[in-house]
Amino acid sequence: MFFMIENTEKELESKKTVLIVEDEEINRNILSSIIKDDFNILIACNGQEALDSLNKYKKEIDLVLLDIFMPDIDGREILKIRQNRPDLKKIPFIVCTGERTIELECFKLGVNDFIKKPYENPEIIIARMKRMIELYEDRGIIKEVKKDKLTDLFGIEFFKKYAIEMDNKYPKMNKDLLSINITRFRLVNELYGRDFGDEVLKNIAESLKTYLNEHKGIAGRNSSDNFLLYCEHQDSYFELAESLVKHIQEMTNSSNVRIRVGVYPNVDTSLDKDIAIGRAISAANSIVGDFNRLIAVYDENYQNRVVYLEELINCFEQAIKEKQFMIYYQPKYKIQGDKNTLCSAECLVRWIHPQYGMISPGAFIPLFEENGLIRKLDNYIFEDAARQMKEWKEKYGFIVPLSVNVSRADIYNPNIVDDLLKHVDSNGIPRDKYYIEITESAYSENADQLISVVNRLRECGFKIEIYDFGSGYSSLNILTELPFDVLKIDMAFIKNVDRNYHNREIIKMIIDITKTLGVLSITEGVETQEHYDFLKEAGCDVIQGYYFSKPLPVNEFEKLLEKEFKK
């Protein structure tokens, strides 16, 4: 909820915005009363409202006053989320508490300062808030770099400044803003080393400079593998995209590394440049995982999609209540030996929406991850999977092992182990038949936390499955540091295995490693006879994919079970 004290227009422009996160009304009112003359105010009455406000108003918020002890999502969990969100790290957080024993814990979680309850000295509170905002603003100015050292392109802040200068100098010129991302760039660093990865980045930068020799514009580097282009409007950027892909694939000798380009055409120059950049980046992100498209254009249809996604967020709670989320089961088959055998299945969620019909998980999973709803959805899946295993046990007299995905957000849930135990034990399911899938990328984000959670899960008897192996930067480290029982090879490796020698050798190497470690190997995305023949010969234990079956709703999966295990 947005709450603003009445001000003159001039005061609104000059005042900083503070988000007060406090579940007790009296404390909210006291703080608001103390700071209302000096700051614009946002109010969040609980942890979820705080996350919603941070996601929606993060560019406007200059400071957060955070209560720690709240129901549902407490302040410490918000701080943990902040630690892994670079956009939120730019905002200073001050904890408001009367409990001195948690100060050390909060400092370790990145808190910048404390204000003691009860609020006895308003002048000091306001002074500390203003000083903290000033420190962060000063730090941001210091961090501004005109040119990126590696590529000699503009850093992001100067890119925005020079884009504004372009608008002023060429007011009648139609301009486009492009976001250019290297897909799976971590794989380049991992396979060839960081020095080689740097050469790839420099090569792309030189290609953009060459392009700008013929077109008015500027180029910048926004992050390790994201470039920005602001230039005179062009009808097509396909040739540019194709040339960049060609350079990368020639350097890496791999077809797995590609680019995606998001174009915000005919930029509305009255918009804040962060918004314009966001539109280009959003367009690029819309084709993540789509290997058939290089370019996506932001247009009115894309804006409609933004509205559509907002509608999905708004009806999430109703969807949970009405059980609109359905589990589909992707069969897994053992392929070694004389006979292929159905051995387990992966739980995949589908949303059967009363208005929109079947909604792809590719549409709502990233959305819920971004908005903090994924944990509630995951818990729904954990519970339903255990219930279904119990039902099959009673119906068929045997256990069908299932694997469920534990998202990155779940890793930071202090109750994740207890939640899983509750669902499995209450349904009488053997823990070692309930597989926990954890993505490799969670390791690179917070290895210590992940290792701690995995150790606790294995001590309780669960089996751990690492999926998307080979897609992240920490693939080799994860083998030596993280305990696990199953290694699932990322589908990208099998996709072109019949044409790509490097992919074949990498898959063989990974399978050999699993045998040395004494763990099970699974390959996902298996679609053709050639895929199957290669993996069987290479010694892969289990495969899943359309070669055997697409993900099935419960009634169709039961038909498969009955056919497989009929007496």
CATH topology of domain 9-143: Rossmann fold (3.40.50)
Long-range contacts of 417-424 (CB under 8 A, 24+ apart): 417/453, 417/456, 417/457, 417/460, 419/379, 419/382, 420/382, 420/457, 420/460, 420/462, 421/460, 423/382, 423/383, 423/385, 423/386, 423/387, 424/386
Strand pairing category for 542-543 and 402-406: unpaired
Cα–Cα–Cα angle for 249, 254, 259, nearest 5°?
Answer: 50
pLDDT at 143: 47
- Assign a CATH topology to domain 316-562: TIM Barrel (3.20.20)
Same CATH topology for 9-143 and 316-562: the answer is no
Question: What per-residue confidence (pLDDT) applies to 92?
Answer: 92
Q: Where are the domains positioned within the chain?
A: 9-143, 156-298, 316-562
Please report, as a single letter, which amino acid is at residue 296: A
- pLDDT of 191: 67
Q: How much is the pTM?
A: 0.54
- In this prediction, residue 470 carries a pLDDT of 62
CATH topology of domain 156-298: Alpha-Beta Plaits (3.30.70)
* Gap between the Cα atoms of 312 and 319, Å rounded: 9
In angstroms, the CA 375 to CA 360 distance is 18
b/e map of 415-435 (b: 16 or more CB within 10 Å)? ebbebbbebbeebebebebbb
User: Which residues, given as ranges, of the chain have pLDDT below 50?
Assistant: 1-13, 141-143, 473-474, 567
Q: What pLDDT, on the 0 to 100 scale, is given for residue 321?
A: 93
